[in-house]
Structures are given as C-alpha cells and as structure tokens.
Copies of this chain bind each other. A is one copy, B any other.
C-alpha cells in the first residue's frame, strides 16, 4: 500500500440538470482512491455502515484498493448525502446530510498503513486529518484537501493541518476565504508561508494552478460540453495527482506538473457520469488520449518577440 487516503465513504443521492442517481457510491476517499488506482496501490481509511452494499466493496477491490483500513461499523448506516446542482453546476446545494456511522468515526490506522510513503488527507473534519498525521511515521509526501465548511467553523484546526502538510490543495474561493483576500496570487503566497512546498488551487472549469515558492504552473480543464455531475471532481483530481506522484522516482516540479495533468484527466472523466461509473472503468488509452489533449491545449509554439518600436 503506497498511498494512504483518509476521507468519507458515502452513499449519495444527486440531481443535476442532466440526470439523477439514487444511493450511489460517493465520498472523498472513494473518488480519490478509484482515481489513484490506475497509478498506485491506494488504501482507504474510512468507515461504512451496515447498509453498505457488497458490490461497492467488490468494485473497490477490483480496482486494487486496499481496504484493511476501511472500518465496517455494524451499529448504524453509512454516511448519506443528498443534494442537487443547478445552472452552471458550480455549487452543490445540500438537501439532506445524515452523518450516521461517520459521526463517531475514529481514523485508527492498521499497522500496515503507518509506513505509507504518500498520504492524501481527503476532505473531512481537520481534527480527523490531524489524527491521521499523528499516526503515520515518515511519509515522503502529504497532501490535504478541504472545503469552505471547515474554513468557516474550524479555521484554527485547519491551519494546524495546513502547517503540517507538504501540499495544500483547495479551490480558489476557499483559498481567498481562508486568507481573507480577493487576490488569488496573494492567497496562494499566504498559504505557502504556512510551510507547504506547494499550493494547488482548483478552479473547476477554469483548471488548476500550482504555486511553488518560486514557480507557477497553470493548466486548463478539458472543455466539456456535457458535465453530468461535478460531485467528486476535486477528489478525483487529488487522487490522480497523488497517484501519479506516488509512482515516480523524484518529487521534482516537473513531476508535480505531470501529476496535475494526471489529476485533471481523472477529474474530467469523473464529471462525465454519476458516482465513479466512468473513473472506475477507464482504459490506459483513455488516459493517454486526454493527457495528449491537455498537452495540445496548452501548447505555446516557439515564439521570438519582434517589436517594431
């Protein structure tokens, strides 16, 4: 197991302008582990309840996801979320959240997880993210994701997490909210000051950006005319990114750039169908195709400036 992923494993009921799904497999750890599974051996730290369907377990196993760290709490049901999207689908609107067994979730790592070289702290309560960090021994790289909810209600705890990880991965609005500024470059700089080597800013349809101490990389999203369901895009991005990084020799900036390309490709497939339907059934050539698209979309031809005056 090379990539430890902590996060939610959930059952989702979702409506979007292009369809709906009832009680489908969801959750940040699910999306991230499936996306990463093409590149590495992920292991999930999470909890599910007595209603969790066997077919979900089978799918995760088929994708090579290590489930030793997935607790099955027979005392209650799996975390349930119901929501919908409208218009440009930029923001999910929650109808119902039932924490169920997630309410008392205690992320205890199996011994075999404690030496995981790569750690992805998916979007859950920062206290749980910290608990995981305390149990891992000497990870080569840690990345944390988060969301506006924790910035609003647990900013201090979240800052603690941000100070301990190598990579902060959040969306543009969240970065600016956390740093109380309307300038994204300023927010990224502030976040870097907390100690992370890189800050990855997710901008949805506008792509992603990698801010380093002295470097910057910007990558577009793949323009999709039909986005069926944006749920899990950020988690799939993080999973693809960390999956790639946990499979290369060095953590150079160039490998971070390639990792962002990988994450972007996984996110683009995620949103084309509900749940992990698309990301769980990709072929290598699907991934290659979109990596090549991104290269072409970003390609600046050689250009020697000629001025007149």
Residues on A close to B: CB < 8 A? 37-41, 63-64, 87-89, 182-186, 188-189, 203, 205-207, 209, 216-220, 223-225, 227, 247, 254, 257-258, 261-262, 284, 287-288, 291, 294-301, 303, 305-309
Query: Are B287 and A303 in contact, with the CB atoms below 8 A?
Result: no
Measured between beta carbons, the chain B residues less than 8 angstroms from A89 are: 182
A270 to B225, CA, bound (A): 33
Q: Using A37-B309, A38-B307, A247-B308 as known contacts, say yes or no to A301 and B254 having CB atoms under 8 A apart.
A: yes
Give Cα A37–Cα B307 distance, bound, in whole angstroms.
9
Number of copies: 2
Interface pair A301/B207, CB less than 8 Å apart: no
**Contact in complex: A307, B284 (CB < 8 Å):** yes
> Which residues of B lie under 8 Å from residue A63 when comparing CB positions?
309
A306/B247 contact (C-beta < 8 A), A207-B218, A261-B300, A298-B298 known: yes
Query: In the assembled complex, which residues on chain B have CB atoms less than 8 Å from the CB atom of A308?
Result: 37-41, 64, 247
Given the interface contacts A207-B218, A299-B217, A309-B63, does A88 sit within 8 Å of B223 by beta carbon?
A: no
Contact partners of A206 in chain B: CB under 8 A: 203, 206-207
List B contacts of A189 (CB < 8 A).
Answer: 225
Q: A218-B297, A258-B303 are in contact. List 11 more A-B contacts (CB 8 A).
A: A37-B308, A37-B309, A88-B183, A183-B225, A188-B223, A207-B220, A216-B297, A247-B308, A257-B299, A295-B300, A298-B298
